[in-house]
């Protein structure tokens, strides 16, 4: 519960972790607050159910032989190496993600090596997809970067100067997902080249590129919350 002398009315909010916060005007009684909550019971049940449905269930990873990591919708096992290929960089070799054992023994270094691999491979993969999607949507192809965006899958920043291209940023965890969901995020961000915000004309442009975008967005919400976001056990 949060009390504010400047607040005039009660309000309820549900935080991303499904916690409930009651905002209370400074001079109202506990009985009034309880009555307000009871009167909004149906709203609370609905909102809490919605939050629970999309709440992340990301699992921490261990840097050990055989740990599973996803790339473009497929699953690969981690292989720790002591040989000549033991490098500070992670590589995909013979169907396995190879990491030097010394790197894996340092959780911070191991995580950084994996994130670097997703960033490198994600940039290479996206470069081959960006131009066809931009042409299909009739927008200028932006510059591209893959990096840590927190909980976001992507973002677009318009040009800062005349003659400069905009910048599309994609979050590295995106590249764990199947290709058709990565394409949805690419199309979503490319639509921002032409239309800022999420007005009706924005979604019309997305629909031109992806008539089934609503299903892909729903699939992204469901599958995306199960992806590894970088936590090391």
> How far does CA 72 lie from the centroid of its chain?
14
Among 193, 188, 115, which residue's Cα sits nearest to residue 154?
188
Token output for 116: 């670097």
Q: In what order do the strands lie in the sheet with 2-4?
A: 2-4, 20-25, 11-14
pLDDT value, residue 51: 59
Class of domain 68-224 (CATH, top level): alpha beta
8 A C-beta contact, residue 4 and residue 24: yes
pLDDT value, residue 171: 98
pLDDT value, residue 132: 94
CATH 3.30.2010.10 placement within the chain: 68-224
pLDDT value, residue 220: 96
8 A C-beta contact, residue 179 and residue 187: no
Q: What is the mean pLDDT of each successive set of 10 residues along the chain, which is 233 residues long?
A: 80 71 83 84 72 65 96 96 74 94 94 97 95 94 96 94 88 97 97 95 95 96 94 95
pLDDT value, residue 56: 55
pLDDT value, residue 168: 97
What's the CA gap between 221 and 176, in Å, rounded?
14
């Amino acid at each position: 519960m949060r009390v504010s002398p400047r607040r005039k009315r009660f309000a309820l909010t549900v935080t991303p972790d499904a916690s409930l916060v009651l905002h209370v005007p400074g001079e109202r009684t506990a009985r009034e607050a309880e009555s307000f909550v009871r009167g909004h019971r149906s709203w609370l049940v609905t909102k809490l159910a919605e939050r629970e449905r999309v709440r992340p269930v990301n699992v921490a990873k261990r840097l050990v032989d055989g740990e599973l990591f996803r790339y473009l919708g497929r699953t690969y096992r981690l292989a720790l190496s002591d040989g000549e290929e033991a490098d500070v960089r992670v590589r995909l070799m013979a169907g396995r993600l190879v990491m030097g054992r010394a790197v894996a023994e340092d959780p911070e270094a191991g995580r950084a090596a994996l994130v670097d691999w997703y960033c490198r491979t994600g940039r290479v993969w996206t470069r081959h997809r960006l131009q066809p999607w931009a042409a299909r949507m009739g927008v200028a192809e932006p510059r591209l970067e893959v990096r840590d965006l927190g909980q976001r899958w992507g973002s677009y920043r318009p040009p800062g100067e005349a003659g400069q291209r905009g910048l599309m940023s994609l979050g590295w965890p995106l590249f764990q997902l199947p290709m058709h969901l990565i394409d949805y995020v690419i199309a979503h961000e490319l639509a921002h080249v032409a239309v800022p915000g999420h007005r009706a004309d924005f979604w019309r442009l997305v629909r031109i590129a992806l008539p089934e975008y609503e299903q892909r967005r729903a699939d992204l919400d469901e599958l995306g919350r199960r992806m590894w976001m970088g936590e090391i056990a």
